[in-house]
Amino acid sequence: MMVGTGSDVGKSVVAAAFCRIFKQDGYNPAPFKAQNMALNSFATPDGLEIGRAQAVQAEAAGTPCHTDMNPLLLKPQSDHTSQVVLHGKPIGNKNAYDYWRRGTSDIDFRGEVNAAFDRLASRYNPIVMEGAGSVSEINLRDTDLVNLPMARHAHADVILVGDIDRGGVFASVYGSIALQTPEDRRLIKGVIINKFRGDMRLFDEGRKMLEDICGVPVLGVIPYFKDIYIEEEDSVALARKSMQLQQGKVNVAVVMLRHLSNYTDFDALERDPRIHLFYTNNTEDIKNADIIILPGTKSTLHDLYELRRNGCAQAIMRAHREGASVLGICGGYQMMGIEVLDPNHIEGDIERLPGLGLLPTSTTITEEKQTRQVTSQYGRGYEIHQGETVPHGDAKPSPLLRLDDGRDDGYVVDGKCMGTYVHGILDNAPFVDYLLRPFADKLSKASGSFNYQEFKEEQYDRLAAHVRQYVDMEQIYKILTSDD
């Protein structure tokens, strides 16, 4: 189990690296995170929902993802409430205070996540587990489902990951171990220092000091990397991506929504050498983009209201009139229509809002969530949405995609105005080529199609090689095979 001294220390990426390393070494690994909190989710092959990080780790392990890899998913809806997804299906919304209080639920969440682990462990070896946030939130110890209580159930060897780039690594590593109960402290078998910058030799003394005060070995010091691309678990870095327009490339603006979800939809575009992609809610940036993408959202009506309030809605419509392409995905597709209706108050108090009017469609938010993997004429993707979109009034159907299950999806006005419910559609080179076709005159002559799947496989191998170089794998295998 990889646990962290805090959030965003890199344990998800380190877990993905070990999934690929174990696969390369001839094992049959699988990832596991008992409880994940994220808006970035993925549909499994059997049409259920898990956190995207575990789907990425499963891909690194070379195995299909399954809800047993992430049995409990919390999808924040506000600062205080989350949708609770158990074994891939939503079971309702929960206030954070009530969720963390003992005895307030009629569901034995601990029993559910433990059983999911047991099923997974019967099919795979080894299991690469991931903790959540800080491993030393002692005020939540009695209700914790994902860190050391889960490690105790699994009899897992625990490795603590610390982020030296943010500073305070000695205090955070020592404190994280010192705050554990004696029983839990014995589970922690080593430390990995992540995101090191500079000359590694300068940390030799620090490494020994950490081992002396913590009583466990430092199994590796992993340098910070910028040239290996693994899909990120959260969206904290999105707004920092450059907004300066670039010549010889198609400039693609993803509209920053407050409840933006499934932002990994755009990772393939970010790596495509023909494209300069950035995230913005600045009306001037939107006006200057070649392609504007309205992304998925956990709250379509609230984000649509905000787009109208901050002027982005008007900027998108004006940019389209002046030649920009607009693509909506999931909630963004819903916003592009004539109206969005929520008569049963699924999302909140707003019953109806006018959309952007770019597509002749009407959407009604529904209680039932649709989750499935799909294949279209452009390639594979997945659906995760609550809502049904139909032509508005006398408008005739004009589907963007023909799905392999016989259904139609989305709406297309022309090559510069379209929407779809299918996440991951931009991972498919044929669809990206279709999206870029109106801007062929802007592209440099040397640019060609980009195969994102091949790119991801190469990145997993590079990540594994990077971690192998700086982590003592021989010592880790000794820990894993020891009876202690």
Q: Does residue 345 lie in a domain region? A: yes
Give the structural domain span for 336: 249-443
Q: What is the mean pLDDT of residues 129-133?
A: 95
Share of the chain above pLDDT 90, in %: 79
Q: Give the CATH number for residue 329.
A: 3.40.50.880
Q: Are residues 432 and 283 in the same domain?
A: yes
Measured between alpha carbons, how far is 39 from 299 in angstroms, rounded to an integer? 11
Residue 483: burial class (beta carbons within 10 Å; 0-12, 13-18, 19+): exposed
- Is the pLDDT at 360 greater than 90? The verdict is yes
pLDDT per residue over 387-403, tens digit each? 999 999 999 999 999 99
Residue 31, pLDDT score: 98
Tell me the average pLDDT of the chain.
92
Cβ atoms of 300 and 273 within 8 Å: the answer is no
- Is the pLDDT at 235 greater than 70? The verdict is no
Backbone φ and ψ for 89, nearest 5 degrees, come out as -125, 135
Q: Are residues 258 and 219 in the same domain?
A: no
- Is the pLDDT at 234 greater than 60? The verdict is no
Q: Does residue 448 lie in a domain region? A: no
Q: Which residues of 10-49 are buried (b: 16+ CB within 10 A; e: fewer)?
A: bbbbbbbbbbbbbbeeeeebbbbbbbbbbbbbbbbeebbb
> Given pLDDT bands bounded at 50, 70 and 90, which one contains residue 78?
low
Measured between alpha carbons, how far is 295 from 297 in angstroms, rounded to an integer? 7
What is the total count of domains within the chain?
A: 2
Q: Are residues 263 and 366 in the same domain?
A: yes
Cβ atoms of 270 and 450 within 8 Å: the answer is no
Q: Does residue 266 lie in a domain region? A: yes
Q: Are residues 470 and 419 in the same domain?
A: no
**Angle, CA 466 vertex, CA 465 and CA 469 arms, to 5°:** 85
Residue 478, pLDDT score: 96
Share of the chain above pLDDT 70, in %: 93
Residue 266, pLDDT score: 94
The encoded tokens of residue 451 equal 């195969």
> Which of 127, 126, 154 is closest to 27 using CA atoms?
126
247: phi > 0 → left, psi -120 to 50 → alpha, else beta; which? beta
Q: Are residues 340 and 417 in the same domain?
A: yes
Measured between alpha carbons, how far is 194 from 118 in angstroms, rounded to an integer? 30
Residue 17, pLDDT score: 98
> Given pLDDT bands bounded at 50, 70 and 90, which one contains residue 461?
very high
Residue 40, pLDDT score: 84
382, 334, 260, 346 alpha-carbon torsion, rounded to 10°: -100
All residues at 6 or more sequence positions from 51 whose CB lies less than 8 Å from its CB, including other chains: 33, 36, 38, 40, 41, 42, 70, 73, 233
- Is the pLDDT at 422 greater than 60? The verdict is yes
- Is the pLDDT at 104 greater than 90? The verdict is no
- Is the pLDDT at 8 greater than 80? The verdict is yes
> Given pLDDT bands bounded at 50, 70 and 90, which one contains residue 6?
very high
- Is the pLDDT at 64 greater than 60? The verdict is yes
> Given pLDDT bands bounded at 50, 70 and 90, which one contains residue 208?
very high
Q: Does residue 423 lie in a domain region? A: yes
Q: Does residue 240 lie in a domain region? A: no
pLDDT per residue over 148-171, tens digit each? 999 999 999 999 999 999 899 999
Q: Are residues 68 and 180 in the same domain?
A: yes
Q: What is the mean pLDDT of residues 231-260?
A: 73
Cβ atoms of 294 and 329 within 8 Å: the answer is yes
Q: Are residues 213 and 284 in the same domain?
A: no
Q: Are residues 94 and 150 in the same domain?
A: yes
> Given pLDDT bands bounded at 50, 70 and 90, which one contains residue 245?
low
CA 397 to chain centre: 32
- Is the pLDDT at 221 greater than 70? The verdict is yes
170, 175, 181, 186 alpha-carbon torsion, rounded to 10°: -10
Residue 265, pLDDT score: 94
Q: Are residues 377 and 467 in the same domain?
A: no
Is the model more confident about 444 or about 446?
Answer: 444
Residue 239, pLDDT score: 52
Q: Are residues 171 and 28 in the same domain?
A: yes
All residues at 6 or more sequence positions from 314 whose CB lies less than 8 Å from its CB, including other chains: 283, 308
Q: Does residue 306 lie in a domain region? A: yes
Measured between alpha carbons, how far is 324 from 106 in angstroms, rounded to an integer? 51
Whole-angstrom CA distances from 216 to 142, 213, 422, 473 are 25, 8, 47, 16
Q: Give the CATH number for residue 131.
A: 3.40.50.300
Terminal Cα-to-Cα distance of the chain (whole angstroms): 15
> Given pLDDT bands bounded at 50, 70 and 90, which one contains residue 445?
low
Q: Does residue 216 lie in a domain region? A: yes
Q: Are residues 192 and 336 in the same domain?
A: no
Cis bond upstream, residue 438 (ω within 30): no
Provide the annotated active-site residues. 330, 423
Residue 483, pLDDT score: 77
pLDDT per residue over 287-341, tens digit each? 999 999 999 998 999 999 999 999 999 999 999 999 999 999 999 999 999 999 9
Q: Does residue 110 lie in a domain region? A: yes
pLDDT per residue over 369-391, tens digit each? 999 999 999 999 999 999 999 99
Q: Are residues 335 and 382 in the same domain?
A: yes
All residues at 6 or more sequence positions from 237 whose CB lies less than 8 Å from its CB, including other chains: none
Among 37-51, 272-286, 419-433, top mean pLDDT goes to: 419-433
Q: What are the beta bridge partners of residue 417?
A: 326, 414
> Which of 309, 294, 288, 295 is closest to 243 using CA atoms?
288
> Given pLDDT bands bounded at 50, 70 and 90, which one contains residue 79?
low
Residue 447, pLDDT score: 63
The encoded tokens of residue 441 equal 């005159």
